[in-house]
Structure 1
Amino acid sequence: MELHEVASYLEKVGLQYMATIGLDGKPKVRPVQFMVEYGGRLWFCTNSKKSMYAELLKNPWIDLCASKLLEDEIQTAWIRLSAEAVFEENLAVKKMIMEKSAIVHELYENNAEHPLFKVFYLKNIKGSLNNLGHVKGLSERADFAKPEEFEF
């Protein structure tokens, strides 16, 4: 699987769930939205006042999972990945995100240089795209897609 295919799947799903290690040492899971693929990287954003920002500064490792249940449940795919979040002041990415997301545009008053607006990309990505019909320990069926592993 190529990076652009992972980006395309995340885009199609729309909402993902990201797990971080909380400041209290316990896992925290929250909905996030993949924003853009740029420079060979998957970019997300947050607010520097949110706990997620502080958590990622302390421990940048995340897990992310996403799926969109299809009418034919057995054909539903889901993606899971682990990665390291890297914050970078990248004005080009911030402008792209502002153009893409109406909520980001509104929250930060169409100001890509808003001091609370932070962007980060994922590195050391390792994951897989799976099919709900492919379950370890159960008999293999030819009509179920096999997991596609990726690493970037």
Structure 2
Amino acid sequence: MSETLDFLKTNKVFYMATASQGEPHVRPMGFVMEYQNKLAFCTSNVKDMYAQMKENPNVEMCCVDKDYNTLRLCGKAVFCTSAESQQKALDVMPDLARMYSVNDGKFEIFLLEDAKAECHTMSGEKKTLTI
């Protein structure tokens, strides 16, 4: 998992796709942490993304580094929102406090279950990463 987590943190912006009623939706993300030995992310329960993941928890993410290596990550979004998970997220990325606080009624944390990750190089090499 550390290689995947490091790739996402180092490259700062990654894109997550959700699907709602068969229609894909992609948005930039910038927060990731390890929680309960899984990759964890955050959102707000007032965003479309939250409703889409509740309807269909299957998500995919993509990130590209400065050398054009591409990380593709997929799994099932499982919400694990608690005061503990929210506080850890705020500790990992203090800037989140501009939007969220513990027990604010909108700050949601989700894990990626059954996660799979692959890294692809520009020359076509593929490496499966351990999650």
Same fold? TM cut 0.5: yes
CA displacement at 1:99 relative to structure 2: 2.1
Whichever residue aligns with residue 106 of structure 1, its letter is R
Residue 9 in structure 1 maps to residue 1 in structure 2 = no
TM score, norm. by length of structure 2 = 0.91
List per-residue Cα deviations over 1:14-65 (Å, max 9, x = no partner). 111000002x431000001232112211010000000000000000000110
Question: Corresponding residue for 2:17?
Answer: 19
Question: Corresponding residue for 2:43?
Answer: 46
Work out the CA distance in 2 between the residues paired with 1:78 and 1:131. 6
Secondary structure at the aligned position of 1:19 is classed as strand
- Structure 1 runs (4+) greater than 3 angstroms displaced: none
CA displacement at 1:91 relative to structure 2: 2.2
Q: Is the 8 A contact 1:20 1:28 kept in 2?
A: yes
Aligned residues: 131
Whichever residue aligns with residue 73 of structure 2, its letter is L
Larger radius of gyration: 1
Question: Corresponding residue for 2:58?
Answer: 61
Work out the CA distance in 2 between the residues paired with 1:116 and 1:132. 40
> Paired residue for 1:86, among 78, 84, 89?
78
Secondary structure at the aligned position of 1:126 is classed as strand
Question: Structure 2: 5+ residue runs without aligned partners?
Answer: none
Question: Structure 1: 5+ residue runs without aligned partners?
Answer: 71-75, 135-145
RMSD between aligned alpha carbons? 1.5
- Greater strand content: 2
TM score, norm. by length of structure 1 = 0.79
Q: Which has the higher contact order (CA 8 A, sep 6+)?
A: 2
In the TM superposition, 1:122-137 aligns within 5 A as 122-134=112-124
